[in-house]
Amino acid sequence: MTATRRLNVTRHGLRGAQPIVFAHGFGCDQAMWRYVWPAFADRYDLVLFDHVGMGGSDATAFDPGRYQSLGGYADDVRDICHELELRDVIFVGHSVSAMIGVLAALAEPELFSRLVLVGPSPRYIDTEGYTGGFSHADIEGLLAALASNYAGWSDSMAPVIMGNADRPELAEELAATFCRADPAIAEHFARVTFLSDNRADLSRVHTPCLVIQSSDDAIAPAVVGTYVDEQLPDSRFVLIDATGHCPNLSAPEATVDAIRSFLGS
């Protein structure tokens, strides 16, 4: 099966123009970008997709061996680019997909011209000299809760991830998106996501990067975004006035402005 079919690739904008590939975060799907991508449709060839087991992807394509690390998801990104014959790619990745983009660019740097990392975290677990925002016990508890009752976990975690308590419809949408994912695949993806450590990869990325950080993010605190920016050799850091881990939904205008400024520089 082709990558475009198994990962539910959709395209918008100008075919033949410079491509932007949008990649969503854990448990979500490409609809998370619906307030962002239209701002770029007049100048770019826009490519969106769903990670395996999420959204409209083909869950039967899931292979635990391939996806035992984020490298398998990075290979999917590269497969899409090769299949569509994309070049000079701008990659926009939210949350875990920020690190997926980093790995894709490390594997094939000539394929990518720029990386936009929205709410990135190279490691979620605190360790000596590094603050990720969670203890090891926190993450193990999160994964255990997800494994035992995925629907309940989705309902309880969505408001934490989304923030914006005054806009409950955002958390409700996120919870609904979580619940559309294949639970077994989501559990596997969560374990890979929250136990990964990609700190050592950052210094090897020479593709120009933009780090977009929400000012109030319970999943990837500001200190994490600052760390990512400091470790990347060629990066720009933008702290936007946004609450929650999904500024592509809660603050799309600020997200668009930051990306536009970066691409215009």
**Is residue 82 annotated as a catalytic residue, yes or no?**
no
26, 48, 53, 190, 201 from 67: Cα distances, Å: 13, 20, 11, 11, 18
Catalytic residue chosen out of the listed positions 24, 45, 95, 121 = 95
Identify the CA nearest to 263 among candidates 22, 20, 9.
Answer: 20
**Is residue 95 annotated as a catalytic residue, yes or no?**
yes
DSSP state of 134: B
**Is residue 58 annotated as a catalytic residue, yes or no?**
no
16, 45, 110, 113 from 88: Cα distances, Å: 11, 11, 8, 5
CA pair distance 49, 47, nearest whole angstrom: 7
Catalytic residue chosen out of the listed positions 75, 217, 229, 250 = 217
Catalytic residue chosen out of the listed positions 24, 51, 94, 245 = 245
CA pair distance 172, 27, nearest whole angstrom: 14
- Residues annotated as catalytic are 95, 217, 245
